[in-house]
C-alpha cells in the first residue's frame, strides 16, 4: 500500500479509479474495498473522503457531468455558427467526444450507464445534451444545411437519439463493423456516413473521400 498524502490529489485518484471500475462493471458490483485496492489506499481512506460508496458515486456522477459540460461547450460556444457553415458534422456529439477523449477513456462507458440510470445526474446530463442538440439544429438551419422540420423539438430529439446510439450500442456496432466507432479510425468511417445522410438523405451519393494525409 503506497503512502499518499490525504489531499485533493488522493481524492481525485480515488474518484478516477472508481469511475473506471463503475464504467466497466457497474456501480452496484464494485465494493469500496475494490476501489481502495485499485487506488492503492485503505478502505477507511475512501470512506474518510466520500463518506460512503454512495457519496463516491455521486461525486463521480458530478465529475462526469462536468467533463461532458466542458466538451459540449465546443458545440455551443462562440464560433460554433461559423463551424456549422463549413461542416455539419460539428453537430455530432460523438465526433466531439472522440476528438477530446483519450483512447481507452472510461467516460463513454460511464455515460452509457449514467444515461440509462434513474438518477438526477442522468436526467440532468440528458437534458443538457438535448439542449445542445437543439442549438446544433438551429445552427445548421441558420447555415442552410438543415431544415428545422415541422416540429424542431422532436427533430432535435431524433438527432440526439441517433447520436447517443453510438455510445449505447458501441460494443455491438464495433462487432459488426470490426472497428470501435468511437476510435479515430471508427469515426473516420462513421462521421462521413452520418453527414451524408443528414445533408442529403439516404438517396444522396456518397461523399468524396478526403485526400490522403488529411
> What are 35-93's pLDDT values in tens digits?
999 999 999 999 999 999 999 999 998 888 888 777 766 665 544 444 444 444 444 66
Confidence band, pLDDT 50/70/90 cuts, at residue 15 = very high
Task: List pLDDT tens digits, range 96-141.
Answer: 777 777 778 898 888 888 888 888 888 988 998 898 888 878 877 8
Q: Would you state the pLDDT for residue 73?
A: 67
Q: How far is 77 from 99, CA to CA, in rounded Å?
A: 16
160 close to 94: Cβ distance less than 8 angstroms: no
Q: Confidence band (pLDDT; 50, 70, 90) for 198?
A: confident
- Report how far residue 85's alpha carbon sits from residue 145's, in angstroms, rounded to the nearest whole number: 8
pLDDT of residue 96: 73
- Answer positive or negative: Cα dihedral of 74, 122, 158, 25: positive
Q: Which fold would CATH assign to domain 1-51?
A: Arc Repressor Mutant, subunit A (1.10.10)
Per-residue pLDDT, 210: 58
Judge whether 163 and 98 are in contact, CB under 8 Å: no
Q: What is the pLDDT of residue 184?
A: 82
Mean of the per-residue pLDDT values of the chain: 81
Share of the chain above pLDDT 70, in %: 80
Least confident of 19-28, 103-112, 174-183: 103-112
Q: Which of the two residues, 97 and 174, has the higher pLDDT score?
A: 174
Classify residue 15 as exposed, middle or buried by CB count within 10 Å of its CB (0-12, 13-18, 19+): buried
3-state secondary structure of 26: coil
Spatial neighbors of 99 by CB under 8 A, at least 6 apart, are: none
Amino acid at each position: 500500500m503506497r503512502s499518499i498524502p490525504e489531499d485533493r490529489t488522493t481524492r481525485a485518484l480515488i474518484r478516477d479509479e472508481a469511475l473506471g471500475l463503475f464504467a466497466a462493471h457497474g456501480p452496484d458490483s464494485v465494493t469500496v474495498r475494490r476501489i481502495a485496492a485499485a487506488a492503492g489506499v485503505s478502505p477507511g481512506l475512501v470512506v474518510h473522503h466520500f463518506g460512503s460508496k454512495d457519496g463516491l458515486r455521486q461525486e463521480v456522477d458530478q465529475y462526469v457531468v462536468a467533463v461532458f459540460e466542458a466538451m459540449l461547450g465546443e458545440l455551443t460556444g462562440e464560433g460554433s455558427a461559423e463551424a456549422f457553415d463549413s461542416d455539419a458534422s460539428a453537430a455530432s456529439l460523438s465526433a466531439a467526444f472522440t476528438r477530446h477523449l483519450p483512447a481507452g477513456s472510461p467516460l463513454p462507458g460511464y455515460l452509457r450507464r449514467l444515461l440509462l440510470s434513474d438518477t438526477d445526474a442522468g436526467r440532468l446530463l440528458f437534458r443538457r445534451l438535448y439542449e445542445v442538440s437543439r442549438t446544433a439544429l438551429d445552427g445548421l438551419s441558420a447555415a442552410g444545411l438543415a431544415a428545422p422540420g415541422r416540429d424542431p423539438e422532436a427533430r432535435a430529439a431524433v438527432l440526439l437519439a441517433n447520436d447517443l446510439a453510438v455510445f449505447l450500442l458501441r460494443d455491438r456496432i464495433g462487432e459488426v463493423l470490426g472497428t470501435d466507432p468511437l476510435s479515430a479510425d471508427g469515426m473516420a468511417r462513421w462521421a462521413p456516413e452520418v453527414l451524408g445522410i443528414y445533408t442529403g438523405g439516404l438517396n444522396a451519393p456518397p461523399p468524396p473521400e478526403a485526400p490522403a494525409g488529411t
